[in-house]
């Protein structure tokens, strides 16, 4: 079975990789970005090869996967840019986790409390919350990575948020 999957994947890769790369290069206007997203897309395709084998038009599904991977990456980049802009606009957020010993002992205490509160979560919820909050993976991506249902992931994220709100109540304005 694995050999058939490899043969199917190789054929699909050979037929679509070049066009997918060129499509992404045109969208992103950056060869390195196109290369990264193409690679990420084909890793996703390999992980879900059975879905592609069963699809009536696997080539079309490749291009949908490539487009969606590109859009996901752009959303992540936009969230990061929005966060950086917000930090620049709000001077009180200039303190980073690495620089908590400077002129704001309250910020250092808050970051230490956040770290400590996350450590109190059950290990599986810590992992899910970390992937969601710090790695910026979507619940669907986390579910795929951990082989759990999306509902389970969303429930665990909400559980973590509620717990952290209670634990960190004194730091809220």
Enter the tokens of residue 34: 């196109």
CATH of range 98-173; options 1.10.10.10, 3.40.50.2300, 1.20.1250.20, 3.30.300.10: 1.10.10.10
What one-character DSSP code corresponds to residue 168? T
Class of domain 1-94: mainly alpha
**Mean predicted lDDT score pLDDT of the chain:** 82
Enter the tokens of residue 171: 């730091």
> How deeply is 47 buried, as exposed, middle or buried, from its count of CB atoms within 10 A (0-12, 13-18, 19+)?
exposed
Query: What sections of 29-137 are H helices per DSSP?
Result: 31-47, 49-54, 58-89, 105-120, 123-133
| Portion of the chain with pLDDT greater than 70, in percent | 78
Least confident of 72-81, 105-114, 128-137: 105-114
The answer to whether residues 170 and 145 touch, using CB atoms and an 8 Å cutoff, is: no
Domain-wise residue ranges, the chain:
1-94, 98-173
Distance, in Å, from the CA atom of 12 to the CA atom of 10, rounded to the nearest integer, reads: 5
Return the higher-pLDDT residue of 139 and 114.
Answer: 139
Task: Provide the pLDDT confidence category of residue 122 given band limits of 50, 70 and 90.
Answer: very high
CA distances from 151 to 80, 109, 154 (A): 26, 34, 5
């Amino acid at each position: 079975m694995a050999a058939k999957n490899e043969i199917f994947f190789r054929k699909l890769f050979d037929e679509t990789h070049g066009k997918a790369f060129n499509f992404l290069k045109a969208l992103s206007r950056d060869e390195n970005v196109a290369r990264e997203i193409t690679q990420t897309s084909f890793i996703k395709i390999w992980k879900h090869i059975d879905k592609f084998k069963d699809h009536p038009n696997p080539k079309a599904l490749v291009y949908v996967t490539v487009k969606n991977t590109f859009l996901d990456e752009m959303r992540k980049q936009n969230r990061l840019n929005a966060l950086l802009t917000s930090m620049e606009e709000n001077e009180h957020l200039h303190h980073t986790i690495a620089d908590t010993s400077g002129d704001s002992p309250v910020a250092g205490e808050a970051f230490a409390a956040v770290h400590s509160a996350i450590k109190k979560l059950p290990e599986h919820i810590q992992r899910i919350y970390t992937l969601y909050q710090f790695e910026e993976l979507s619940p669907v991506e986390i579910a795929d990575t951990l082989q759990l249902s999306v509902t389970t992931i969303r429930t665990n994220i909400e559980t973590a948020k509620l717990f952290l709100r209670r634990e960190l109540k004194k730091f809220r304005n």
